[in-house]
Amino acid sequence: RLRALNRLQVILQHLKMSKQTDSTTEVLLEKKGGAGIITLNRPKALNALNLSMIQQIYPQIKTWEQDPETFLIIIKGTGGKAFCAGGDIRAITEAGKVGDKLTQDFFIGEYRLNNAIGTCKKPYVALIDGITMGGGVGVSVHGHFRVATEKTVFAMPETAIGLFPDVGGGYFLPRLSGKIGYYLALTGCRLKGRDVLKVGIATHFVESEKLPALEKDLIALKSPSKEKIADLLNSYHMKCTIDQEKEFVLDEHMEKINSLFSANSMEEIVKKLKQDGSPFAMKQLETINKMSPTSLKLTLRQLREGASMSLQEVLQMEYRLSQACMKGHDFYEGVRAVLIDKDQSPKWKPAALEEVSDEFVDNCFKPLGKDDLKL
């Protein structure tokens, strides 16, 4: 009887341990050769980032950065569907409803991680195979190398959920050629495969099934410099012929995108789209009309200001905006409509662009004093 009880205790102890290790295996951090490897490991959640993952990755990057035996950092996702589909929006929504500190802690942690990647002294290689959106863009786009595949799907879809393209979107989007970054930010347009390279989000394009071999070769590099890593990535890139002949999906629309999205206000962009009247313009108008008017106004200003800021200044500005969104209405309503009830019909407040005052927008950008993001 006693032995049975003991055995039960051992089993329970094991279960308890496996439960604990489960939460820590949401992200795998390992050293192979001279490479530090970060594996996002929540395949069922499309590797969405939660706070505990962020809190494990950040110090590890800082440690590897200082370690003379670590020559490069690789980040990838598991499950074959996604690199990382974003941040754990549901958890943030739940927290926001009850006034939990997670609505601050998550964004502080995430933006500090984005900055650590943007300033990392060691070459940082993101294998963005599969869905790469929102927070997934934040942990890849600021690094030195981003390797897309035929499975990559990129988007910054935040205006559809009452948010804005954060994680440094205000830095990298306005720096893409022409006004394409503004277009991607406001419409949430999705780019696939080689188009992610052509727009400048990815630096290289490699066949998905070649990634394990590429990773092996990266790990095998002897004391790799940034140049050696670039050479290796280039050699894989040159050998990849998938969709080589295909034109950039937005090629024929670039002139329109550059003129229509160069307006100084959202109202003006809408007016230009209406005046243009082409099927392309009408389709964009239809998309923009579904987005949160507040988000659209915040986003346009975020990108216009971010165009001349450093990454650190952008992340500070975005933290202010994130806290304004947490206090507002549209974020919770957007998450409800898109992710929870999935009825796809959010009731935005205010419901029209004209009702979002400049004064309101100005307030969202105001410094938070001692609560500002410290990087």
Give the tens place of pLDDT for each residue, 61-97.
999 999 999 999 999 999 999 999 999 999 999 999 9
Report the pLDDT value the prediction gives residue 20, as an integer from 0 to 100: 46
Q: Which residues pair with 49 in a beta bridge?
A: 87
Interacting residues of 238 by C-beta distance below 8 A, sequence separation 6+ = none
First to last CA, the chain: 58
Q: What angle do the packed helices 293-306 and 180-187 form, to 10 degrees?
A: 150
Report the pLDDT value the prediction gives residue 223, as an integer from 0 to 100: 82
Give which of 305, 329, 332, 326 is closest to 316, Cα–Cα: 305
Domain limits, the chain: 25-371
Interacting residues of 181 by C-beta distance below 8 A, sequence separation 6+ = 172, 173, 174, 175, 303
Q: Is the Cα torsion angle 239, 240, 243, 247 positive or negative in sign?
A: negative
Q: Is the Cα torsion angle 288, 290, 291, 296 positive or negative in sign?
A: positive
State the Cα–Cα distance between residues 234 and 205, nearest whole angstrom.
9
Let me know the angle formed at the C-alpha of 359 by 354 and 363, rounded to the nearest 5 degrees: 125
Give which of 118, 123, 119 is closest to 137, Cα–Cα: 118
Report the pLDDT value the prediction gives residue 267, as an integer from 0 to 100: 98
Give which of 216, 218, 212, 222 is closest to 232, Cα–Cα: 218
Give which of 231, 55, 73, 211 is closest to 142, Cα–Cα: 73
Residues with active-site annotation: 87, 135, 158, 166
State the Cα–Cα distance between residues 133 and 153, nearest whole angstrom.
8
Interacting residues of 5 by C-beta distance below 8 A, sequence separation 6+ = none
Contact between residue 89 and residue 102 where contact means Cβ atoms under 8 Å apart = no
H or E stretch at 226 = helix 226-239
Q: Are strands 124-128 and 145-148 parallel, antiparallel or unpaired?
A: parallel
Say which residue the tokens 């080589």 belong to. 244
As given in the structure block, the two tokens for residue 87 are 């941040």
As given in the structure block, the two tokens for residue 334 are 């957007």
Q: Are strands 191-192 and 153-155 parallel, antiparallel or unpaired?
A: antiparallel
Report the pLDDT value the prediction gives residue 79, as an integer from 0 to 100: 96
Contact between residue 262 and residue 254 where contact means Cβ atoms under 8 Å apart = no
What's phi and psi for 75, nearest 5 deg?
A: -125, 135
Q: Is the Cα torsion angle 348, 349, 355, 360 positive or negative in sign?
A: negative
The superfamily (CATH) of domain 25-371 is 2-enoyl-CoA Hydratase; Chain A, domain 1 (3.90.226.10)
Digit-by-digit pLDDT tens for the chain (375 residues) are: 666 666 666 666 655 544 444 555 999 999 999 999 999 999 999 999 999 999 999 999 999 999 999 999 999 999 999 999 999 999 999 999 999 999 999 999 999 999 999 999 999 999 999 999 999 999 999 999 999 999 999 999 999 999 999 999 999 999 999 999 999 999 999 999 999 999 999 999 999 999 999 999 999 998 889 999 999 999 999 999 999 999 999 999 999 999 999 999 999 999 999 999 999 999 999 999 999 999 999 999 999 999 999 999 999 999 999 999 999 999 999 999 999 999 999 999 999 999 999 999 999 999 999 999 999
State the Cα–Cα distance between residues 248 and 232, nearest whole angstrom.
25
Interacting residues of 97 by C-beta distance below 8 A, sequence separation 6+ = 332
